[in-house]
Structure 1
Amino acid sequence: MSRFDELAKQWDEKPLRVENAKKIGQAILDNIPVSTDWNVMDFGAGTGLLTFYIQPFVKNIDAIDNSTGMLEVLKEKAEKANVKNINPVLKDLEKDDLGENKYELIISSMTLHHIKDIESFLKKLYKALKKDGYIAIADLEEEDGTFHSDNEGVHHFGFNKENLKKILEKVGFKDINILTVNFINKNGKDYPVFLAIARK
């Protein structure tokens, strides 16, 4: 049982977390011409805070996570709300295949810092996107390692936006735009959150 399985039940009780997902979701809708014909992947979907924000505007969302606990909560929420277009998918993002030419949009909130090899992972996402498809990935801007109270499973203390842009370009993405969309106030500090948007 992973740490995230244990955290799942209380995950949505943190107002900062809910607010962050809303701001990211709104920034996605404001900057990408999202369509009800689109198939979407939300990787590291957790309990679906971002998934549910985007769900009304798209055809289908594969909510991918490696925690059964998180996906169970997501499933319960979807059933309660009678939402039919979310598919919870249990996968290990780094090890498992994510498909090819499948999605018009790939979204994510606060998961990238848990991925070891960013370039290899972004290549997988590129492959999973249809031509002209978008990615919209939100995470922390570079921080000093104080954001998480426990850094187990955290491979990056946020990201330098210029460096991330270079990796996205190297993988083949175009029209790259990295915006600051939120500040999370923790430990008396403001931690900026970016949204990286790019196209295949």
Structure 2
Amino acid sequence: MTTANTARFNAEALSWDSNPSVQLATRLAHAAYLSRLPSPSALSTYDVLDLGCGTGLLSLALAPSVRSVTAVDAAEGMIAALAAKLSSSELSTTVRNVRPVHALLQDPSDPRLAIDPVTGSSDPKPRRFHLVVSHLVLHHIPDLPALFRTMYGCLAPGGRVMVTDFENFGPEARRFHPEAKMDGVERHGIKRDEIKRVLEEAGFVDVKVETAFEMEKAVETEPGSGVMGPVMVFPFLICEGTRGG
């Protein structure tokens, strides 16, 4: 993630959860993930890595269904916001399986992943995960092949990657972001064929890229006007793959 991305998300961390589009996209992504994951009994054994977790909306949504969530973000402000939630009176006694980590993750054996969120203990061997998720992150990443190689390395054999982002369906996809928030946007959504190839080249098998959901979002009346008015429908893709045994 670039410096522009980190600066933007640090600045927006405190107001991030008040954005209704952010909340809606997370709810829809969470539902898409659950519909593709195994039964509750199997899922309850999963250790999950959430890359680009932001303020933890997806991490906290997944937490009741899984054994643990290690929530990683490069923006210190986002991780601070998640940590504040976890220490609040509302969550401190109910959510004990989510661990926020401030890191720009590039090494699957990064020692900052070593601590188990449930036990608090650190394994001398690199931790490996059953599932890696990432939501609305890919369009901010300059080097997608490097990201997916890292994701692959973070998974245990048979583990799965499951990521969601809006689709690049043509020039109008640019309108997903107001012009004033283009700093750090590396691409205007993701392309099906491109992302499928990236996953396969990273080593994933059983790769699938399909429409997960569609979401209505207000866009600028004219690019750069700052005036939000018309509503557009944006398709979101879910990209899945498995690390071989």
TM bin, normalised by shorter chain, reads over 0.9
| 1:101 to 1:77, Cα distance in 2 relative to 1, 3 A | closer
Structure 1 residue corresponding to 2:75, chosen from 41, 64, 67: 67
Residues 20 and 182 of structure 1 are in contact (CA less than 8 Å); yes or no, is this contact kept in structure 2? no
Q: Distance between the aligned counterparts of 1:122 and 1:46, measured in 2?
A: 19
Match of 2:238 in 1: 195
- Conserved in 1, the CA contact under 8 Å of 2:73 and 2:104? yes
Q: Does 2:189 match 1:158?
A: yes
> What corresponds to 2:63 in structure 1?
55
Which residue in the other structure is 2:104 paired with? 92
Measure how far apart 1:88 and its partner are. 0.6
Tell me how far 1:101 sits from its aligned partner.
6.0
Q: Give the 5 Å matches for 1:103-142.
A: 103-142=129-168
Q: Residues 49-90 of structure 1: CA distance to partner in whole angstroms, max 9, x if unpaired? A: 111111111111111001111111111212221211111111
Q: Distance in 2 between matches of 1:50 and 1:58?
A: 12
Give structure 2 stretches of 5+ with no counterpart.
1-5, 110-125, 220-230
Matched residue SS, 1:20: helix
Matching residue within 37, 58, 64 for 2:45? 37
Q: Between the two proteins, what is the percent identity of the paired residues?
A: 28
Q: How far apart, CA to CA, are the structure 1 residues paired with 2:81 and 2:108?
A: 22
Distance (Å, rounded) in 2 between the aligned partners of 1:19 and 1:120: 29
Q: In structure 2, what residue type is equivalent to 1:91?
A: A
Q: How well do the aligned residues superpose, as a CA RMSD in angstroms?
A: 1.6
* 1:164-183 superposed matches below 5 A: 164-183=195-214
Bigger CA drift: 69-78 or 128-137? 69-78
3-state DSSP class of the match of 2:142? coil
Deviations 1:84-139 (A, max 9, x none): 1111111113xx42335611000011011111111121111111111110111011
Maintained 8 Å contact 1:175/1:199:
yes
**Separation in structure 1 between the aligned mates of residue 37 and residue 242 of structure 2, nearest angstrom:** 10
2:186 maps to 1:186: no
Query: Which residue in 1 is equivalent to 2:113?
Result: none
The 8 Å contact of residues 179 and 195 in structure 1, kept in 2 or not, is answered as yes
- The answer to whether the Cα contact below 8 Å between 1:142 and 1:159 also exists between their aligned partners in 2 is yes
- TM-score, with length taken from structure 1: 0.92
Tell me the SS of whatever aligns to 1:159: coil
Distance 1:190 1:175 in 2: 29
Distance 2:131 2:189 in 1: 23
CA distance in 2, matches of 1:5, 1:152: 13
- Aligned partner of 1:146 in structure 2 is 175
Q: Which amino acid aligns with 2:108?
A: L
Moved over 3 A (4+): none
Is contact 1:24-1:181 (8 Å) kept? yes
Amino acid at match of 2:101: V
Structure with max Cα Rg: 2
- Gap runs ≥5 in structure 1: none
* Superposed displacement of residue 178, structure 1: 1.9
**DSSP 3-state at the match of 1:131:** strand
